[in-house]
Structure 1
Amino acid sequence: MSRQFYRVARALYVEQSTLSRSIGKLERSLGMPIFERTRAGVKLTFAGCISFKTQSRLSQ
C-alpha cells in the first residue's frame, strides 16, 4: 500500500507521510474510506469513485 502512495507523493512533490495524513483526514471528514487497502495495493472504493467523479465535475 505505502508503495503506491509513495509514487503519488513523489509525483506531487510531497512526503508520503503527508499524503497519507491528508488522505486519512479526507476519509474522516467524509465518514467513510475512499480507498480499499490490501497487501496488493490500494484501489478506490465505490464511495471513492463517487467522490472523485463529483470533485472532477465541480472543478470543471
Structure 2
Amino acid sequence: MSPWLTLAEAARRIRRWVESGDLTPFAGRFRAADILATEKKMRARRGRPRKTANRESP
C-alpha cells in the first residue's frame, strides 16, 4: 500500500474535512499548515468507535 494519495483521493479527503467542519478554506484555498494539522488530528481518531449521545451505560 502506497503512503501517497492520488489526486482524486486527496480531493475527496479534503472535501470530507470541509463538510465535517474540520477544515476551513481561506479565500478559496487551504493553508498547508491547516491541512497537515487536520490530517494529524484525523489519524489520531482513526479506528475508534463513535460515541452516541443516547447510548445507555451498563
Q: Normalising to structure 2: TM-score of the pair?
A: 0.40
Bigger share in helix: 1
Bigger share in strand: 1
Larger Cα-atom Rg: 2
Q: Relative contact order (alpha carbons < 8 A, sep ≥ 6): 1 or 2 greater? A: 1
